Amino acid sequence: MEKITSILKETLDLVFECSKDQHPYEFAAAIRAENGTITEIIPIPGTISGEEHAILPLHMLPPDRSICGVIHSHPVPDTRWSDEDLHLFGKFGHIHIIVAYPYSKNSWKAYNQKGEAVPLEVIDTHF
């Protein structure tokens, strides 16, 4: 399992825009990493979003070892995980990101499988 240390700024910006577009419903997608950097989001067909939930049909994901976790939004200004979020964290992937309203550079947080905050550097380019 590769340690994730950063996320591309353009990927994070895309998540902010998707979250704004989906508001007041939650946005959710899988995330892919390359060489320790989250490089893209992967929409999952059949995802159901509501004001307090996003149901991800993880069985619809392609078999791809670079998929490392999930990113989702909270349509309220709170990046803390819920019990349901923590259950997902422990079940799938090893890095999870919550982006909270107003979906900006100051309103997101990354977590590991145990729900512990993980620092991620936002980088402009990926080598």
User: At which residue do the structure tokens 């993980």 appear?
Assistant: 118
Task: For residue 53, tell me if it sits in a domain.
Answer: yes
- CATH no. for residue 41? 3.40.140.10
Mean pLDDT of the chain: 94
Pairwise CA distance, residues 58 & 108, whole Å = 23
pLDDT tens column, 50-93: 888 898 888 888 888 999 999 999 999 999 999 999 999 988 99
Number of structural domains, the chain? 1
Task: For residue 127, tell me if it sits in a domain.
Answer: no
pLDDT tens column, 17-40: 999 999 999 999 999 999 999 999
Task: For residue 78, tell me if it sits in a domain.
Answer: yes
Task: For residue 41, tell me if it sits in a domain.
Answer: yes
Range of the domain at 24: 6-119
Q: Is the model's pLDDT at 1 over the cut of 80? A: no
Task: For residue 87, tell me if it sits in a domain.
Answer: yes
Given this model, what pLDDT does residue 61 score?
A: 87
